[in-house]
Chain A
Amino acid sequence: SQQGEEDPQALSIQEGENATMNCSYKTSINNLQWYRQNSGRGLVHLILIRSNEREKHSGRLRVTLDTSKKSSSLLITASRAADTASYFCATASGNTPLVFGKGTRLSVIA
């Protein structure tokens, strides 16, 4: 079954606006992680939220986790052109490896 499906697939916003990306998954998880990938580059770990946490902040990033709905959201506040990238959620369940979604392509227009 699919895990970690993000939506929207693509998002285009103006610099300064907030960007919200969502992730849904199907099975129970230990934690959920968000990664960023600039075009053709590696994956940069942004934030990890554990299954017993509901919200986590890191700088301009805010991640929420609703285990009852099996969903997470990533909010980037006051977006910048440099935030343009693809954003992936990845779920960790028991001893299974990370399962990535297809990602959301974020474009921040200056």
Chain B
Amino acid sequence: EPEVTQTPSHQVTQMGQEVILRCVPISNHLYFYWYRQILGQKVEFLVSFYNNEISEKSEIFDDQFSVERPDGSNFTLKIRSTKLEDSAMYFCASSPRARGTDTQYFGPGTRLTVL
């Protein structure tokens, strides 16, 4: 069964460093998302991506964040200058059709630890 994959599973970085989190969505899906979950808290939406552009983003997704689909398979989240409060699990998700009307399939997550 196809699934969303994410790498790395755990990333440790120093405050101020740039990190890139990688995701491979399910191959025939058209919509891609990033969510994050701070330990013990809700899963929060960051950004959605369709047709090679951001379709929606939350207040969390500020200028420090960017997303890219560099080729036909990868979907990346970049944090330019990490802060301590960026420590969280980051989940990538994809869906075959329009968000809100279809199931989103989540990857296993990347645990980001900012020291």
B-binding residues in A (CB < 8 A): 30-31, 33, 35, 40-45, 48, 88, 90, 92-103
Contact A41 B108 (CB under 8 A): yes
Q: B41-72 vs A: 1/0 string, CB under 8 Å?
A: 11111001000000010100000000000000
Residues of A within 8 A of B105 (CB): 45
**A83 CA to B44 CA in the complex, in Å?**
24
A42-B91 contact, Cβ under 8 Å, with A94-B100, A95-B99, A95-B100: yes
A-binding residues in B (CB < 8 A): 33, 35, 41-45, 48, 56, 58, 89, 91, 93, 98-101, 103-109, 111
Contact B56 A97 (CB under 8 A): yes
Residues of B within 8 A of A101 (CB): 42
Closest 8 CB pairs of A and B: A42-B108, A92-B100, A43-B106, A97-B45, A100-B43, A42-B109, A100-B42, A102-B42
Task: Name the residue on B nearest A88 (C-beta).
Answer: B43
Residues of B within 8 A of A44 (CB): 106
Task: Name the residue on A nearest B99 (C-beta).
Answer: A97
**A95 CA to B101 CA in the complex, in Å?**
8
**A98 CA to B104 CA in the complex, in Å?**
9
A100-B99 contact, Cβ under 8 Å, with A35-B106, A42-B109: no
Contact B45 A92 (CB under 8 A): no
Task: Name the residue on B nearest A100 (C-beta).
Answer: B43
Q: Quote the shortest CB–CB distance from A39 to chain B (angstroms).
A: 11
A98-B44 contact, Cβ under 8 Å, with A35-B106, A42-B91: no
